[in-house]
Structure 1
Amino acid sequence: MSEASVAVHADADLLAQAVAARLLVKLLDAQADRGQAAVVLTGGRIAAAVYRAVAALPARDAVDWSRVDVWWGDERFLPAGDPDRNETQARAALLDQVPLDPARVHPMPASDGPDGDDPEAAAARYAAELAAAGPGDAALPRFDVLMLGVGEDGHVASIFPGHPVGDATGPVAAVRDSPKPPPTRTTLTLPTIVTAAEVWLVASGADKATAVRESLAGAPLPAAAARGTARTRWLLDRPAAASVQGGAPS
């Protein structure tokens, strides 16, 4: 797998703008190479800022959004449209403002969906959707970019340190008793995350500094295990990078 590179930006606003610009370039490059692109979205404050920045960039219109597949790395198992769902956040900030093909937008199932309040069935349904989009007999599609936020404890997606979901081997897992509310979620597993061509770990704020430092040092944290097959990028603002030894290379 790839070695990690680190880019540090002065503050959260500049970080969001820089990640947005990188994302547009990556989508354009993927479409130039393959005719299409696939991105895995995350949630959280900095992710929402990135999506708003993408929507505000004139270059967004250079992307053929009808040839972009949108997936999610994890989701809160809540009713459709709930403001705490990552899907709801992404739609409000970006997805409803670009001409995506609805058939290529793949939200994780909601708790009022066809599986009701069964997160294991919802995880299995999403795994089947991933497999249906994979080339040939592949269990997963190609992910050009998989974006992850980084929690204060070093979690990514809904994979928390010490939680049994960290040992899950299937493509998608249900999460019960999450240490962070809400307690029930669905998530891509680490074996799925590490199939992405590029994994981007985006972190903002001084409360992330310890997790960033420990993950880059190889601590046994989910964030340290999240790597892309071609490239792993840590995209940070200065407060999040404050504890990185040597000042965080760019």
Structure 2
Amino acid sequence: MTNERRVLVHPDKSTLAGAVAARFITKTLDLLDAQPVVHIVLTGGSMGSAVLEAVASSPARMSIDWSRVHFWWGDERWVPAGHADRNDRQSHDALLDDLELPASNLHPFPASDSGLSLDEGAAAYAAELAEHAADGLAHPVFDITFLGVGPDGHIASLFPHRSGISVTDQTVIAVRESPKPPPERLSLTRPVINSSQRVWMVLAGADKASALGLALAGASRDEVPVAGIKGRRRTVFFVDRDAAAEVPEALIARDY
């Protein structure tokens, strides 16, 4: 078993999204050959949606038995259900609405109009994770966790110089006073993310170059949260050429 970090560079955003989508389809097929159910964690943002749109446009997606795939999210904005800012809404628009998935395969975070408080929403999602937990864990074994990375190095809703990145005794946290709007959010914690078999981070744009360079150079996770993220089997940074500007040549992988 290996858990090294790899950086795979693509020429532009479109090529990047297509390559990640193709790899996702192939890996999901491989996983379904080996196990009855696959658990995937999705992310929001422009590249998260671009990857799912590329999956939706690929004829190869029809070869996947999606009824055996469960979808979760790494974090969510505390806004009403169906709001355009919600990560789950973006995922549905990009791909999930086309898959005719059983409702039981979809695991969105609670919404602000659910009748729950923010803290109750965190507890409810933690309970849902526990309902699908693997033996000895408080959550499922996530086969692939997709993450975006902010220009400040944040992942999910775990931000620099905030306590969230250091929480180890919870699976889900309520986030208040987020440095980017909206101020209230829900997020998986670092130990849950790091328990994923594979963490795939998809980054594009020159504004991500500094965060990626610092993370790979060994920056503190408190200053650059992405530096503290590592999957159990694989950690792959799928990036475009602009985002790779500060990555040492020796760290760039030639293949997966």
Quickly name the TM-score band, shorter chain normalised: over 0.9
* 1:46 aligned partner, one-letter code: M
Hey, which bits of structure 1, 4+ residues long, moved more than 4 A?
A: none
Which residue of structure 1 aligns with residue 245 of structure 2? 242
The alignment-based identity, stated in percent, is 48
Whole-Å separation in 1 of the counterparts to 2:65 and 2:94: 18
Residues 105-144 of structure 1 aligned to structure 2 (within 5 Å): 105-115=106-116, 118-136=117-135, 138-144=137-143
Partners in 1 of 2:150 and 2:55 — Cα distance?
23
> Contact (CA 8 Å) 1:241, 1:248: kept in 2 or not?
no
Q: Match for residue 27 of structure 1?
A: 28
1:171-186 matches, within 5 Å, as 171-186=171-186
What's the Cα RMSD here? 1.1
Instruction: Give yes or no for the alignment of 1:47 onto 2:48.
Output: yes
- Per-residue Cα deviation, 1:228-249 (whole angstroms, up to 9, x for no partner): 0011001000000011122751
Given the two structures, how large is their TM-score scaled by the length of structure 2? 0.94
Q: CA 1:94–1:56 in structure 2 vs 1: closer, same or farther (change >3 Å)? A: same
What is the match of residue 222 of structure 1? 225
Q: Deviations over 1:6-38 (max 9, x none)?
A: 100000000000111111112111111102211
Contact 2:8 2:238 in 1 (8 A): yes
**Number of aligned residues:** 248
Task: Please give the residue correspondences for 1:203-218 in structure 2 after superposition, counting only pairs within 5 Å.
Answer: 203-218=203-218
Helix, strand or coil at the partner of 1:147: strand
Q: Secondary structure at the match of 1:180?
A: coil
Write the distance in 2 (CA, Å) between the matches of 1:45 and 1:102.
25
- SS across alignment from 1:22: helix
Separation in 1, partners of 2:112, 2:161: 25
* Gapped regions of structure 2 (runs ≥ 5): none
Distance 1:218 1:198 in 2: 20
Cα separation, 2, equivalents of 1:165 and 1:22: 31
TM-score when normalising by structure 1: 0.97
The SS at the match of 2:238 is strand
- More displaced 10-residue stretch of structure 1: 23-32 or 170-179: 23-32
The aligned amino acid for 2:131 is A
Structure 1 residues not aligned, in runs of 5+: none
Alpha-carbon distance in 2 for matches of 1:137, 1:224: 27
